């Protein structure tokens, strides 16, 4: 038998990864990774904890309006609405990260979704902050006053 022939297995988070037999592994999640190398002479195991930096993406939408509700092209992330409209800010983060949404006229929210009825004091930047043991990162979306008022009218059709 060839003592140089090595069998390698990876166990991210304690679960053996089927079919992963290379000496290196690309990781995307914070967890403990264990590598076991074995041949006819025995085996050796080593573990390391990989910590990923936090990730975040903030988006927004206006109820009943396609797109972001803004006319024309604008730089950066933005949504446009008038007072009284319902706006939702969403914060997408990596699993396990903690997050907070802050913005003008609202209390900080630890939910991944913040829905509000727009008031005059809500226009400005809404920020999502994602935090884990490696640090924190933010992403911002701006709530702007819509260029024109959106009005839904009721029409009566007679046959």
pLDDT digits (tens, 9 = 90+) for 1-37: 445 657 888 877 777 766 666 767 776 667 788 888 8
Give the integer Cα–Cα distance in Å for 114 and 103: 10
Q: Do residues 97 and 57 lie in contact, with contact meaning Cβ atoms separated by under 8 Å?
A: no
Burial-class residue 103 by CB neighbours within 10 Å (0-12, 13-18, 19+).
buried
Residue ranges of domains in the chain, CATH in brackets: 7-50 (no CATH), 56-145 (2.60.40.10)
- The gap from C-alpha 132 to its chain's centroid, in whole angstroms, comes to 13
For 95-111, the pLDDT digits (tens) are 778 889 999 999 998 88
| Percent above pLDDT 90 for the chain | 32
Backbone angles phi, psi at 139, to 5 degrees: -140, 145
pLDDT tier, 117 (very low <50, low <70, confident <90, very high otherwise): very high
Give the integer Cα–Cα distance in Å for 80 and 7: 58
- For residue 45, the surrounding DSSP H or E stretch is strand 42-50
């Amino acid at each position: 038998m060839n003592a140089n022939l090595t069998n390698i297995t990876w166990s991210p988070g304690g679960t053996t990864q089927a079919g992963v037999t290379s000496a290196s592994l690309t990781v995307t999640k914070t967890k403990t990774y264990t590598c076991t190398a074995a041949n006819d002479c025995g085996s050796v195991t080593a573990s390391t904890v990989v910590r990923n930096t936090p990730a975040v993406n903030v988006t927004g939408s206006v109820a009943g309006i396609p797109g972001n509700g803004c006319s024309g092209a604008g730089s950066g992330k933005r949504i446009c609405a008038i007072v009284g409209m319902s706006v939702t800010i969403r914060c997408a983060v990596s699993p396990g990260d903690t997050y907070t949404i802050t913005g003008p006229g609202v209390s900080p929210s630890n939910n991944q979704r913040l829905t509000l009825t727009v008031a005059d004091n809500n226009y400005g930047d809404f920020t999502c902050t994602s935090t884990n043991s490696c640090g924190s990162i933010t992403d911002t979306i701006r709530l702007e006053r819509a260029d024109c008022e959106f009005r839904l009218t009721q029409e009566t059709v007679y046959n």
